[in-house]
Structure 1
Amino acid sequence: MKLDTQLIAALGLGKYLQGEQWASAIINGEAVFDNGPAKPLRSPIDHASLGQYVNAPAAITEQAIKEAHAAFLKWRTVPAPRRGELVRLIGEKVRAKKKELAQVITLEAGKIVAEAEGEVQEWIDICDFAVGLSRQLHGLTIVSERPEHRMMEQWHPLGTVGVITAFNFPQAVWAWNAMLAFVCGDPVVWKPSEKAPLCALAIQSVVDEVIAEFDGAPRSLSQIVIGEVETGKQLAESPLVPLVSATGSVRMGKAVAATVGGRLGRSLLELGGNNAMIVTETANLELALRAIVFAAAGTAGQRCTTLRRLIVQESVVDQLLPRIAKAYETLPIGDPRESGKLVGPLIDEPSFRAQQQALADAKAQGGEVVFGGERVTAGVPANGFYVRPAIVRVNGNLPVVCHETFAPILYVMTYKTLDEAMALQNGVPQGLSSAIFTDRMQEAERFVSPAGSDCGIANVNIGTSGAEIGGAFGGEKETGGGRESGSDSWKNYMRRTTNTVNYGNALPLAQGIKFDV
């Protein structure tokens, strides 16, 4: 098995392992193993075995939900600053194990070391954010029309949060949700991607160490169930899970939204992105080039904020496009554990096939592949799916362009006027991240105005990826409308109550109604 004993020991993963089989769930601080059909777990780096796992059966998931609800009844009464202290201690533990946690991300998701460590840093950063937030969970005081009355608004813990995550950010997305949920008074039941269960177990090991030593924290505050579609559906169906936060495909998000909505619960959705950058004739092309290459090729194109559409003013495209191709030629592709590599593997063979199909569709629809797209086999580990990032010239938003392919394909199109560029920018079903490179204030301000980008993230002179945790993260349209991480995203994890207090001796009614008996 590729996961070495030193790493297992450093993260305390041994308690979740029997032979080569990983636990199916962590409930109430204890590993649960099931004897159902085992599934292999392999590293995208070289297809080496990382062990095997068994999906948690429905009864185990139901147990986790019930244990979480019991934890909620206790945790909701713990003062928020005390809940913040738990998160502070989690952050300290993560700092001490940052390198090891990143190694698991690299092995299981194929990220280069710098990006893997950056993802763990996101967890640390959101811990810091949540600790401060734990002393700032605030409502409002509101004037009353009635004499000797006062109105106020409070925010209270909501209940168990079901978290469903994707493989590409196997630790950070959970942390965005869980750290806020914990300070808001909510337990978490997590269904990680079936492609990245080890990252979830590594997280749980770290968090459970802190919970076990923390006075007043229920052991079932953080729980994991390993599973696939049926497990996610079970979380979405449960009335004991008032909020389901789901990150993944649009198809998955629509199913979650329909199920949760059917019981009038809440869903927080982070779904597909089809992100564009407009490059104007006044843009700093050197700055734009650096942003394009990282946003389009970083993480092998497997970010929801990956740059997928480049909309270039026709007067500068012949200057910019050759420079992108030249930069792509020199991108170091290979084993993400090696120093200097910037592009690692796709997660698996289906992702590679999806990329190849998208390139074929683009050609059939009139596009031209001007660089890359082929599988790389020289100088990379055998059996991994390494690809050279592709550049495809297209005439506007072709049907294939309107569909997000989770691989490094950059579609390049041109425009004459900013109106045309904005129509292209907004002319896809997704609405996550966007950017414009310009030195004209009017263009920049229009881009971020109500008549500009229709995305949840609209950047000026920086790329589409690499959002900081201080801002709310999420998008519109088929991206789902959810917001996680910073700003006031914490409100998703709480319920609002409006209180009116009568401190007088009369009982006047609102709106001047008289009802004397």
Structure 2
Amino acid sequence: MALEFEQHSFLKELGIERDNFGCFSGEWKGSGEEILSYNPATNKLIAKVRATSEEDYEWCVKRSLDCRKLWSSLPMPERGEIVRQIGEALREKKLLLGKLISLEMGKILAEGIGEVQEFIDICDFGVGLSRQLSGKCLPSERQDHVMFEMWHPLGIVGYITAFNFPCAVFGWNSAISLVCGNVQIWKPSETTPLVAIALTKIIAQILKRNGYPAEIASLVIGRGAIGEKLAKDVRVPLISFTGSTKTGRQVSKLVHERLGKTILELGGNNAVIVDKDCNLDMALRAVLFGAVGTAGQRCTSTRRLYLHRSIYSNFLEKLVGYYRQVAIGDPLDEKTLMGPLHTKMAVEMYQKGIEEAISQGGKVVYGGKVIRDNFVEPTIIEVTPQTKCVQAELFAPILYVMPFDTLQEAITFNNSVSQGLSSSLFSNHISHVFEWLGPCGSDCGIVNVNIGTSGAEIGGAFGGEKETGGGRESGSDAWKQYMRRVTATVNYGNALPLAQGIQFGTS
């Protein structure tokens, strides 16, 4: 079978070969099935990967267990220094990695580079955390006693990540978890294995250069069976999973059956509400990026648009004009604004979604066609808020547009779906802004004003409510999920008073 490999010289600069091993724990191996990496823009084979077998997985976990004590016992600032160096290495290879993400995932080059920048930014954030993570000294009710609240590493943390952000989501987890003192096992999407291999080689090089075992950061590339094995493994206290709500339910069940911990970043069915009193130009640009960026394959992509009835026709007309200007094509071409959908199956879902919307009374006002292969038109469909298709997350560039009359009505529409990730209100009405942000406003984990649903900063905790899973990654105090809390009490006196003043024993 002919490979595209030779057409892309930057692959060798990232350590990618025509044939690769997909299991790493200090050294590379792989005795499982052959996994093929395709370029979604051409549907041509890029390279091959020998996946992780069950035996490889056991070898990997054992090596991870062997080095967890070493890593967890290091002073946190020393671990932070390693993360700093990882960030610097990513800076040096940012363009190359951005090209690889575009090649293998299909997002445009600017977004591929942006993904690497996210990893760099969270490394910077993690370095700062390594100098300031602290517990508490709590007042004790007993004489000559003091209570401490301390945080310790969990041990091994497992990551199961999705195709649409093959670099950034791993980075959100890895940079923080490594600083917290955990070793890691990463199971990436089997459709973006080359990005995972390139990132793992960069991290391994940094660890080895500093005299630490590279198996601190292990990799297991494989299909669902390997992910299931990781989810079931009692030796892995925490599983961070990013993907669909359907698969997330299965992962949650497997992990919680063994009383493990999870961070779940699942489906998003995100809405933008455009009030009559707002900067319409800002809203238009935000909706365009939110709905069309990454070909609608972000968990934060804008899928529902609620327009105040008084501006509905004007806004929709201008939005269609913006859509007509979207350049669709090779994601490595800097002029391109929308690349291909990731797989042929995604194209089929796109077509099926449009057919279902039309069968339910929806009206396509722009797009709706497959251009060629994995390339499709970004699509706008007019529906009513009660239309059934609005309730489902469709991972494609399809935007449902609906009118509203009052803000309370729009908030009800926003909250009417089972997902709860990201949401945005465009308004210059101060009371509307704070109603939206208040306890009876948006029920999502990310609630924005005058910015779109997509493009979260790493400084804030990222995640959502309801069927989005409730987990939090990246910034703020999301680090607490990668550690275990210990409440410790020290008696430095000569008596043994009991809590609550209880008297027990002989006089």
Greater shift in the superposed pair: 36-45 or 300-309: 36-45
Aligned residue identity for 1:453: S
Q: 2:292 aligns with which of 288, 292, 297?
A: 297
Distance in 2 (alpha carbons) for counterparts of 1:93 and 1:40: 27
Q: 2:73 aligns with which of 58, 74, 77?
A: 77
CA contact (8 A) 1:302 1:406 kept: yes
Distance in 2 (alpha carbons) for counterparts of 1:63 and 1:250: 31
Distance in 1 (alpha carbons) for counterparts of 2:402 and 2:44: 40
Aligned residue identity for 2:284: L
Superposition pairs of residues 106-505 of structure 1, within 5 angstroms: 106-215=102-211, 217-377=212-372, 384-505=373-494
Q: CA deviation at 1:57?
A: 1.2
CA contact (8 A) 1:314 1:415 kept: yes
CA contact (8 A) 1:429 1:478 kept: yes
Q: CA deviation at 1:400?
A: 1.4
Q: CA deviation at 1:69?
A: 1.7
Q: CA deviation at 1:37?
A: 3.9
Aligned residue identity for 2:319: I
Matched residues, percent identical?
A: 48
Greater shift in the superposed pair: 190-199 or 46-55: 46-55
Q: CA deviation at 1:218?
A: 2.3
Aligned residue identity for 1:272: G
Distance in 2 (alpha carbons) for counterparts of 1:116 and 1:148: 57
Q: CA deviation at 1:55?
A: 2.9
Distance in 2 (alpha carbons) for counterparts of 1:2 and 1:205: 22
Distance in 1 (alpha carbons) for counterparts of 2:64 and 2:334: 42
Structure 1 residues 19-43: Cα deviation after superposition (integer angstroms, max 9, x where no partner): x332121122x11032x44243210
SS at match of 2:191: coil
Structure 1, unaligned runs of 5 or more: 378-383
SS at match of 2:391: coil
- Provide TM-score, normalisation by structure 2: 0.98
Aligned residue identity for 1:146: R
Distance in 1 (alpha carbons) for counterparts of 2:193 and 2:342: 14
SS at match of 1:434: strand
Distance in 2 (alpha carbons) for counterparts of 1:62 and 1:362: 47
Q: CA deviation at 1:366?
A: 1.1
SS at match of 1:244: strand
Q: Is 1:3 the equivalent of 2:5?
A: yes
Please name the residue that 2:15 is paired with. Answer: 12
Distance in 1 (alpha carbons) for counterparts of 2:95 and 2:289: 23
Structure 1 residues 89-139: Cα deviation after superposition (integer angstroms, max 9, x where no partner): 111111111111111101100111111100000010000000010111111
Q: CA deviation at 1:68?
A: 1.3
CA contact (8 A) 1:80 1:185 kept: yes
CA contact (8 A) 1:272 1:430 kept: yes
Please name the residue that 1:381 is paired with. Answer: none
Q: Is 1:510 the equivalent of 2:506?
A: no
Distance in 2 (alpha carbons) for counterparts of 1:339 and 1:183: 36
Q: CA deviation at 1:258?
A: 0.3
Aligned residue identity for 2:246: R
Structure 2, unaligned runs of 5 or more: none
CA contact (8 A) 1:397 1:427 kept: no
Distance in 1 (alpha carbons) for counterparts of 2:161 and 2:35: 19
Distance in 2 (alpha carbons) for counterparts of 1:68 and 1:137: 24
Distance in 2 (alpha carbons) for counterparts of 1:312 and 1:40: 44
CA contact (8 A) 1:426 1:453 kept: yes
SS at match of 1:282: coil
Please name the residue that 2:30 is paired with. Answer: 33
Distance in 1 (alpha carbons) for counterparts of 2:275 and 2:55: 57
SS at match of 1:400: helix
CA contact (8 A) 2:30 2:53 kept: no
Distance in 2 (alpha carbons) for counterparts of 1:70 and 1:238: 16
Structure 1 residues 358-378: Cα deviation after superposition (integer angstroms, max 9, x where no partner): 11111111111111021124x
Greater shift in the superposed pair: 361-370 or 58-67: 58-67
SS at match of 2:505: coil
Distance in 2 (alpha carbons) for counterparts of 1:39 and 1:115: 25
Distance in 1 (alpha carbons) for counterparts of 2:10 and 2:113: 15
Distance in 2 (alpha carbons) for counterparts of 1:396 and 1:429: 14
Q: 1:291 to 1:255 in 2, by over 3 A?
A: same
Distance in 1 (alpha carbons) for counterparts of 2:383 and 2:448: 24
Structure 1 residues 125-173: Cα deviation after superposition (integer angstroms, max 9, x where no partner): 0000000101111111110111111111000011111000000100000
CA contact (8 A) 2:4 2:44 kept: yes
SS at match of 2:197: helix
Aligned residue identity for 2:30: F
Distance in 1 (alpha carbons) for counterparts of 2:22 and 2:13: 21
Structure 1 residues 436-455: Cα deviation after superposition (integer angstroms, max 9, x where no partner): 00011111111111111110
Q: 1:47 aligns with which of 40, 43, 48?
A: 43
Please name the residue that 1:24 is paired with. Answer: 22
SS at match of 1:76: helix
Distance in 2 (alpha carbons) for counterparts of 1:466 and 1:39: 31
- Provide TM-score, normalisation by structure 1: 0.96
CA contact (8 A) 1:397 1:428 kept: no
SS at match of 1:445: helix
Distance in 2 (alpha carbons) for counterparts of 1:440 and 1:494: 42
**Large movers: runs of 4+ above 4 Å:** none
Aligned residue identity for 1:22: N
Distance in 2 (alpha carbons) for counterparts of 1:88 and 1:397: 50
Aligned residue identity for 2:468: T
Distance in 1 (alpha carbons) for counterparts of 2:134 and 2:387: 47
Please name the residue that 1:59 is paired with. Answer: 55
CA contact (8 A) 1:153 1:496 kept: yes
Distance in 2 (alpha carbons) for counterparts of 1:122 and 1:463: 18
Q: CA deviation at 1:397?
A: 4.1
Distance in 1 (alpha carbons) for counterparts of 2:437 and 2:62: 45
CA contact (8 A) 1:74 1:218 kept: no
